[in-house]
Amino acid sequence: MDIVFIKQLQVDTVIGVYDWEKSMSQSLFLDLALHTDLRQAAAADDIKLTLDYAVIAEKVSKLITAQPIELIETVAERVAAMLLAEFATSKVEVTVHKPGAVPKAQTVGVSIVRSRS
């Protein structure tokens, strides 16, 4: 299986459980991996036959910024569900980084793997 990936997609949004977090925008960084078969797209050299990472990035950004979310776990689950529902992928890996959330840590985050049922 082939993979289309996006590394460190920055999305600025309202995220957090504490009151002070709910009044400001913070940056999340996402790593996405979408498993698919790229042979047909490569043979035809046609973007319509592959997963367009520009479209993926835009849809992920819109999903995350549509409303405030408290947990990065929720972000990861919603992104994974949307990618599986809207794109020709059988399996997705979603990592959400929240830098600055823990003092003395460069970043914290969650990683999930979800497959089409």
Domain that holds residue 93: 2-115
CATH label of the domain that carries residue 27 = 3.30.1130.10
* Residue 98 among the catalytic residues: yes
Q: Is the pLDDT of residue 117 over 90?
A: no
User: How many Å apart are CA 77 and CA 81, to the nearest integer?
Assistant: 6
Single-letter residue type at 85? A
The catalytic position among 48, 91, 98, 104 is 98
Q: Is the pLDDT of residue 69 over 90?
A: yes
- Tell me the per-residue pLDDT of 25-67, one tens digit each, with 9 for 90 and over: 999 999 999 999 999 999 999 999 999 999 999 999 999 999 9
The structural domain count of the chain equals 1
User: How many Å apart are CA 79 and CA 46, to the nearest integer?
Assistant: 26
Single-letter residue type at 26? Q
